Amino acid sequence: MDASLSSPSSQRASPSCSIPTLLDRAAEFLDLFAGELGRPVPSARLEQIRREVESRGAYTHTEEELQIGGKVAWRNSTRCIGRLHWQSLEIRDHRDLHRPDEIFQALVEHLRFATNGGRIRSTLSIFPPPDPITGEAPRIWNGKLVRYAGYVGGPGDPEEVEFTQRCQELGWEPPAGIPGHFDLLPVLIQGAGEEKPRWFELPPDEVLEVEIRHPRFAFLEDMAVRWYAVPVITDMILEIGGIEYPCAPFNGWFMGTEIGARNLSDVDRYDLLPRIARGLGMNPEERKTLWRDRAILELNEAVLHSFRDDGVTVVDHHTASRQWDAFVARESRAGRPVHGDWPWLVPPLSGSTSSVFHSELENRVLSPNFYYRDLPWQEGGMAAAEGKEESDSCPFHIRSRRRSRHKD
Ligand code: ARG
């Protein structure tokens, strides 16, 4: 359910078009804002923004603008199948928190609020935007708030190997002294203008986890596999009306396949399918028997069963697909076209049984939205050079460095 990736500037019609200024973007957002509220925005508001931009190079969203902006950013996230629920997003305004320790505290509270004893609430926390003069803002180095460490040539989540190394360089060590498969990673937070991030351990009792077991196959429980309950994305930039919030973690709840058909089964992640096949009495050397297909199905049934049995919100891909249909219908009644990123929307299991498989979608990125950024420890490379031209020609535009992970 990650959101989309092109930068707002990539929507320019051609390179010869002028780059929209911060004020243009603010004006465009105010139009959208008025449309969402169904009432005109007083013209004085744009005037006020103009004066603020002229005096300090940025403007401050009102609480209501932040609320609408955050929700519409989710509605515009072309990679998310769960957008039916966009209006229920809980938005927490933390623009007054700057120090890493206070940001960490707010992240723990975000997690507690979102977890809600298992009845997960979609939540977005918004921390300060960059200082318009220095371009500096606090940042979270993690890709997700909760993740398991990965060790070179050892146990854990291979996707987190590089991040785990960064943590170890800062002095973090595996909780039990030796690397394990499901070691909770610390949270790395860098204060604005600070040279290095600081690391903080999440209190284990704040992190709800589910032990994966199968309603019929006991061997699965013996594999001692677990997954955390709440997926909180911490590495995307929220953009509203030209203001970019690089520290804006958000969460929904899992669709079972994210865990069962990706995190636990991709060969470059936990790669559990061969072991599950063996547990089912199949031989993973023999391709023709469709052992992967049988194993992935049982693993996904186990994930859904375990979450449901523990009372933790999860959605199966068939229900998500029905909810997607409801979203498309509702958007069409509201007169809004639905944009989508097909390869991300089609569930990774039994794709053709979902309606989205059979739809043609345009992948257009509207503002507000969530964007990728560079890995914080790799900044200053190519992306920074690319940003030069844009920031030179538009003194008010604060460019966040973005990373494209997509083939387009
Ligand atoms: N797929 C990502 C993960 O497994 C989480 C992306 C967000 N998912 C969500 N259901 N909101 O870590």
**pLDDT for residue 24 is more than 70:** yes
Q: How far apart are CA 333 and CA 37, in angstroms?
A: 16
pLDDT: which is higher, 37 or 401 = 37
* Cα–Cα distances in angstroms (integers) from residue 151 to residues 77, 154, 335, in the given order: 32, 5, 49
Catalytic annotation, pick one of 253, 291, 324, 344: 253
Q: How far apart are CA 77 and CA 138, in angstroms?
A: 24
pLDDT tens per residue, range 339-391: 999 999 999 999 999 999 999 999 999 999 999 999 999 975 434 434 444 44
pLDDT tens per residue, range 88-130: 999 999 999 999 999 999 999 999 999 999 999 999 999 999 9
Which ligand 1 atom sits nearest the alpha carbon of residue 250?
Answer: 11
Helix (H) or strand (E) holding 37: helix 22-37
Q: How far is the CA of 249 from the centre of ligand 1 (A)?
A: 12
Unique residue bearing structure tokens 């203008």: 193
Residue 83 annotated among the catalytic residues of the structure: yes
| pLDDT for residue 390 | 41
**pLDDT for residue 399 is more than 80:** no
Catalytic annotation, pick one of 25, 80, 166, 298: 80
pLDDT tens per residue, range 204-214: 999 999 999 99
Q: How far apart are CA 175 and CA 183, in angstroms?
A: 7
Q: How far is the CA of 40 from the centre of ligand 1 (A)?
A: 36
3-state DSSP assignment of residue 18:
coil
Mean pLDDT, residues 177-191: 98
The three-state (H, E, C) secondary structure of 361-401, written as one string? CCCCCCCCEEEECCCHHHCCCHHHHHHHHHHHHCCCCCCCC
| pLDDT for residue 16 | 53
**pLDDT for residue 397 is more than 50:** no
Nearest alpha carbon, ligand 1 atom 4: 258
Q: How far apart are CA 246 and CA 314, in angstroms?
A: 28
Q: Which residues line ligand 1 (CB under 6 A)?
A: 1-2, 144, 231, 233, 252-255, 258, 263
Q: How far is the CA of 340 from the centre of ligand 1 (A)?
A: 17
CA 369 from chain center: how many Å? 11
Distance in Å from the first CA to the final CA of the chain? 18
Of 217, 211, 209, the C-alpha closest to 276 is 217
Which ligand 1 atom sits nearest the alpha carbon of residue 231?
Answer: 5
Share of the chain above pLDDT 70, in %: 89
Nearest alpha carbon, ligand 1 atom 5: 231
Unique residue bearing structure tokens 């391709």: 287
Question: Would you place residue 67 in the very low, low, confident or very high pLDDT band (cuts 50, 70, 90)?
Answer: very high
Query: Cβ distance 401 to 379 under 8 Å?
Result: yes
Q: How far is the CA of 253 from the centre of ligand 1 (A)?
A: 8
Pocket test for ligand 1, best of 5, 85, 258 (most atoms within 8 A of CB): 258
**pLDDT for residue 240 is more than 90:** yes
3-state DSSP assignment of residue 269:
coil
Question: Would you place residue 17 in the very low, low, confident or very high pLDDT band (cuts 50, 70, 90)?
Answer: low
* Cα–Cα distances in angstroms (integers) from residue 246 to residues 20, 48, 189, 234, 402, in the given order: 20, 24, 12, 9, 10
Q: 25-63: string of b/e by CB count within 10 Å (b at 16+)?
A: bbbebbebbebeeeeebeeebbeebeeebeeeebbebee
Pocket test for ligand 1, best of 233, 345, 370 (most atoms within 8 A of CB): 233
Residue 344 annotated among the catalytic residues of the structure: no
pTM: 0.90
Residue 221 annotated among the catalytic residues of the structure: no
Lowest mean pLDDT among 187-191, 198-202, 306-310, 399-403: 399-403
Nearest alpha carbon, ligand 1 atom 12: 231
**pLDDT for residue 13 is more than 80:** no
If you average pLDDT over every residue of the chain, what do you get?
91
| pLDDT for residue 379 | 78
Cis peptide before 368 (omega within 30 of 0): yes
pLDDT tens per residue, range 256-304: 999 999 999 999 999 999 999 999 999 999 989 999 999 999 999 999 9
Q: How far apart are CA 268 and CA 179, in angstroms?
A: 18
Amino acid letter for position 206: E
**pLDDT for residue 62 is more than 80:** yes
Of 3, 399, 77, the C-alpha closest to 235 is 3
Residue 298 annotated among the catalytic residues of the structure: no
Question: Would you place residue 18 in the very low, low, confident or very high pLDDT band (cuts 50, 70, 90)?
Answer: confident
Which ligand 1 atom sits nearest the alpha carbon of residue 122?
Answer: 11
Which ligand 1 atom sits nearest the alpha carbon of residue 147?
Answer: 12
Which ligand 1 atom sits nearest the alpha carbon of residue 252?
Answer: 11
Nearest alpha carbon, ligand 1 atom 8: 1
3-state DSSP assignment of residue 133:
coil
Q: Give the ranges where 38-160 is alpha helix by DSSP (H).
A: 43-56, 63-75, 100-115
| 190 Cβ contact partners less than 8 Å away, ≥ 6 residues apart | 100, 138, 139, 140, 141, 196, 197, 198, 376
Nearest alpha carbon, ligand 1 atom 10: 254
| pLDDT for residue 380 | 57
Q: What is the DSSP letter of 239?
A: E
Q: Which tokens go with 334?
A: 């509201």
Q: How far is the CA of 214 from the centre of ligand 1 (A)?
A: 22
* Cα–Cα distances in angstroms (integers) from residue 243 to residues 21, 289, 322, in the given order: 11, 53, 34
Query: Cβ distance 402 to 374 under 8 Å?
Result: yes
Alpha-carbon dihedral angle through residues 8, 14, 19, 20, given to the nearest 10 degrees = -60
Q: How far apart are CA 61 and CA 237, in angstroms?
A: 16
